[in-house]
Amino acid sequence: MASKKQQPQQQQQEISTMRRLLGFDLTDLQSWSSFVKLMNRPEDPSSLAILRIFFGILMMLDIPQERGMSHADVYYPNDDKECQFPLFNFLEPLRAEYMVIVYFIMLLGAFGITIGFFYRLSTICFTITYWYIFFLDKTSWNNHSYLYGLIGFQLMFFDAHHYWSIDGLFRKKIRNSHVPLWNYTLIRYQVFLVYFIAGLKKTDWDWVSGYSMDTLGEHWVFSPFRSFMTIEQITLILVHVCGLFFDLLVGFALFFDRSRPFGVFFCLSFHIMNSQLFNIGMFPYTMIATIPIFFHNNWPRKFLNRFAPKFLYKETPLQYSSSCLYSKEEIKPEEPKSPSIKSKIANNSSVKNAPTKSTLRHKIFTIFALFYLVEQGFLPYSHFITKGYNNWTNGLYGYSWDMMVHSWHTQHVKITFLDKKTNEPHYLRPTAWASAKRWSSHADMIVQYAQCIKGKLKQHGYDDVELRFDIWRSMNGRFNQRQIDPRIDLLSSDVKWSPFQDTPWLQPLLTNLSDWRTRMQKIETELSSKDQNVLVTFVADFPGLFLENYIPADLNTTIEVLEGQIVVEMLGLKENVTLNVGQNMSVPNGDYHNVYTISSTPSCYMYTYLNQSDVEIVHLWDRYYNLTDRLLNETVDRNRPIYTDKEEADLVRLSYENVFEELRQKTLHELLELPYDFKLHNKNETNTNWTNIRLQFETSMNRSIVKRLDTKIKWHEKHHRTFKTFFAKKRRQFLRCYHIIKLAIRSIIYKTDFIKSVKNEINSAIDESDSDGIVTEETPPQPPTSTESSSSSSSKKSSSTNGKSKKKQTKK
């Protein structure tokens, strides 16, 4: 048993170990006053200033692109064509010229944050305008856009302008002065939550079993691993399992000193890979910029003292700040007793700014910090309160940190409205008044779109209508199934939506059929091994409902039952066929048919279809590719002795130009040795358009050559080209921003038509072909398959055929 003298020594040793690991002692948490003093403890401002500068620069790059400033005239066209999906229905966008001014204020705010000029005003301007634009459109929400807004909100209260700022040059009082500890606590906690809660969300069985990102292993960034791992192993182990453990552990690794080097290495690798894997704007670089916030708070000062030339950088002593709380020992620079203050404090005139007793300000900011910590930890799990925003997943996508956990595939959207006066049904194109597609995923946006359509139809003379949606989607490789009840009139007074109540007309996700995914993959693999041109669509439907489907004339289609019992009604033949498990039948093409689920449990069936014209085009492409590739290799071998001074990539380029000059002298029939009366097997076309087919072949061949050149180009040349393309794109975006700002100001002053001015003065001068739209975290929907039957405004048959032809063109 330890003596009484040894116990205090052991306790002191434990406390010092806790301070070394966590940065505080237990005594700091024993009372409210000690906790207030802890949260307002003075810290070096340099690391926070680095974050401020990086964040401001990245937001200036983000605003023209992902926020949409460079194309504000397109997103807000002043003619009320598009339906809006704001978080609150009273929010509405301003006219386009005023929205440009809003963007301009946000851009100026980001610039002010970067240089620390009028810092408080800049953070307020940036944050208010950012959240206004963010709340205007729920269809563009994603996790990283939400994170940008949170960081901007935090900077409003931080003293991040106490180091390396224009404000500090003119205000000696704040220049190089301390910042309170809660500034660092909030931003570190926020970044930690991004990783850790994302890891907790990835404990979902769909992620653990590898269904969330099932095609990611094919990306080129995983090429080094393909020498000893299959694509399936890369997808399951590297993407899903390693991704889970990375998110769960990397926050802890960054927090502790000994594990921080490993955390930094894996963080850098992870975010650099993400920048190549996903089109998510500045998010990877923003997360890289937050890594140094976990370092010691004075790391920039130490770095400059060690590496910067003395004539460029001279260390200035830290000043006291009224934002912090000091002990009496800490404000006596000649007798420093506290080990927490390591920097020299030579400016004794700032002692009067060093409070030793907590004021109302210190207590308010401590309460604010506590509230923020609790709120951010609770919000990702608050879906039991906001039940109306839940569907197959919990809540709106963007604030739950469930990044990439759910991959969606929209198979089919049909909008039907019934004119009650004539009792005549009409079919509305789903994108008629909403170009964004995410509205079909959430009940609140479905209701908003329904009410908007009601108003639009009134403008076209339809005053009294019934409106029904039929939305088919698949999540994480499951069956395509209905998301809402197609029998519900969304304009009926009985159909209500509340953010705090469950939505009764949403159809549940058929999780009991999740085990079918392995069998579905096996079936698709077996069919593809027999014929690569075969396409398969798996469908599940609820008892008492039916699927109306149109099969284009050039498709050979069969339907097979996997589970349950169905009745196939062939409208043209006026014949019904009942199918049980394992039975299949050929479905007539060029006509509609209905599939009724008559079993007491959900039915599961699959469509297998083959486009004969696609098969022929694939064979022709193979012949064209082999011919072109053989001629190219022969030309390269023939030119190599002649052009000995050229690099391999330049030699391939030159030879490819020679080959194309030779190929263009012959028709496609002559090149491929086809009879002149040869036509593709396509019942929808009387004459084959060989000009378009040749153009498709040449475009595909160009892409193949580009891939071939990528392997020949030297590393430095490839990256030089990448950076050159990036800066050229940014230059075009900022140039367009400059022009629309100028036209917006002119339009406001002189009351001119802003949209017309943009069309006349900008669109004619700047090439719009390379412009970028708003980037979102949602996976782009695949083209519709043979079940697509709802793309028209008046004619059902023409719309479905067009939808199918788009599918086939994209597939080729």
> What pLDDT shows up at residue 337?
44
Q: Lowest-pLDDT range, 290-304, 489-503, 611-625?
A: 611-625
- Asked whether the beta carbons of 801 and 552 are under 8 A apart, the reply is yes
Any domain includes 484: yes
Q: Is residue 449 part of a domain?
A: yes
Does residue 691 sit within a domain?
A: no
Asked whether the predicted pLDDT for residue 794 surpasses 50, the reply is no
Residue 413 lies in a domain: yes
What is the structure's pLDDT at 366?
A: 95
In the prediction, which pLDDT does 790 show?
Answer: 35
| Nearby residues of 168 by Cβ (< 8 Å), 6 or more positions away | 116, 161, 162, 174, 175, 176
- Whether residue 419 is contained in a domain is answered as yes
How confident is the model at residue 784, as a pLDDT?
35
More confident residue, 252 or 216: 252
| Terminal-to-terminal C-alpha distance of the chain | 81
Give the pLDDT score at 578: 94
Across-strand partners of 471?
A: 413
DSSP string covering 251-320:
HHHHHSTTTHHHHHHHHHHHHHHHHHH---TTHHHHHHHHGGGGS-TTHHHHHHHHHS-TTT------B-
Token pair belonging to 502: 């469950």
Is 603 contained in some domain?
Answer: no
- 3-state DSSP of 586-631: EECCCEEEEEEECCCCCEEEEEEEEEHHHHHHHHHHHHHHHHHHHH
Strands 408-419 and 424-428: antiparallel
pLDDT tens-digit readout, 481-533: 999 999 999 999 888 899 999 999 999 999 999 999 999 999 998 988 887 77
- Nearest CA to 484 out of 503, 511, 506 is that of 506
Longest distance between any two alpha carbons in the chain, whole Å: 106
SS3 for 318-379 is CECCCCCCCCCCCCCCCCCCCCCCCCCCCCHHHHHHCCCCCCHHHHHHHHHHHHHHHHHHHH
Query: Which of 83-97, 389-403, 476-490 has the lowest average pLDDT?
Result: 389-403
Q: What is the mean pLDDT of residues 235-259?
A: 94
Token digits of residue 259: 């594990």
Report the side by side order of strands in the sheet with 566-570. Answer: 546-551, 591-597, 566-570, 575-579
- pLDDT > 90 in the chain, percent: 51
Look at residue 67 and tell me whether its pLDDT is greater than 50: yes
pLDDT-derived band at 342, boundaries 50, 70, 90: very low
Q: How far is CA 60 from CA 19, 153, 678, in A?
A: 39, 16, 57
Could you tell me which residues come within 8 angstroms of residue 757 by beta carbon, excluding any fewer than 6 positions away? 743, 746, 747
Report how far residue 138's alpha carbon sits from residue 160's, in angstroms, rounded to the nearest whole number.
31
User: What is d(CA 44, CA 343) in angstroms, rounded to the nearest whole number?
Assistant: 8
Asked if 673 contacts 623 with a C-beta cutoff of 8 angstroms, the reply is no
Q: Is 650 helix (H, G, I), strand (E, B) or coil?
A: helix
pLDDT in tens, 728-780: 888 999 999 999 999 999 999 999 989 888 888 887 665 444 444 333 333 33
The pLDDT, as a whole number, for residue 665 is 82
Predicted confidence (pLDDT) at residue 109 exceeds the cutoff of 80: yes
HEC readout, 518-571 = HHHHHHHHHHHHHCCCEEEEEEEECCCCEEEEEECCCEEEEEEEEECCEEEEEC
Q: Give pTM, 2 decimals.
A: 0.84
Question: Which of the four pLDDT bands, split at 50, 70 and 90, describes residue 802?
Answer: very low
Of 449, 452, 454, 456, the C-alpha closest to 464 is: 454
| Residue 369 near residue 40 (C-beta atoms within 8 A) | no
Looking at the structure of the chain, the number of domains it has is 1
Mean pLDDT of 283-307: 93
Please state which of the ranges 8-22, 125-139, 661-675 shows the lowest mean pLDDT: 8-22
Cα–Cα distance for residue pair 136/738, rounded to 1 Å: 23
Residue 351: pLDDT over 80: no
- Kindly tell me the burial class for residue 632, based on how many C-beta atoms sit within 10 Å of its own C-beta (0-12, 13-18, 19 or more): buried
Structure tokens at 126: 């940036």
> How many alpha carbons fall within 13 Å on the CB side of residue 118?
10
Output the pLDDT for position 682. 59
- Mean pLDDT (the chain, rounded): 84
Residue 441 lies in a domain: yes
Q: What percent of the chain has pLDDT over 70?
A: 87
Among the listed ranges 285-294, 440-449, 789-798, which one has the minimum average pLDDT value? 789-798
Q: What is the pLDDT of residues 364-399, one digit of tens each?
A: 999 999 999 999 999 999 999 999 999 898 887 777
Nearest to 146 by CA among 776, 780, 733: 776
721 or 630: which carries more pLDDT confidence?
A: 630
Q: Per residue in 681-715, pLDDT tens?
A: 654 555 677 788 888 888 888 888 877 777 766 66
pLDDT given at position 775:
35
The structure tokens listed for 775 are: 């980037």
Work out the pLDDT band at 633, boundaries 50, 70, 90. Answer: confident
β-strand pairing of 408-419 with 42-43: unpaired
Instruction: Assess if residue 628 is contained within a domain.
Output: no
User: In angstroms, what CA-CA distances link 406 with 108, 475, 712, 777?
Assistant: 36, 7, 37, 11
> Domain of 456?
407-509
CA angle 379/381/387 to nearest 5° reads 95
Query: What gap in Å lies between CA 492 and CA 487, rounded to an integer?
Result: 11
Residue 635 CA: distances (Å) to CA of 258, 436, 625, 694, 719: 58, 48, 15, 22, 28
Catalytic machinery residues = 202
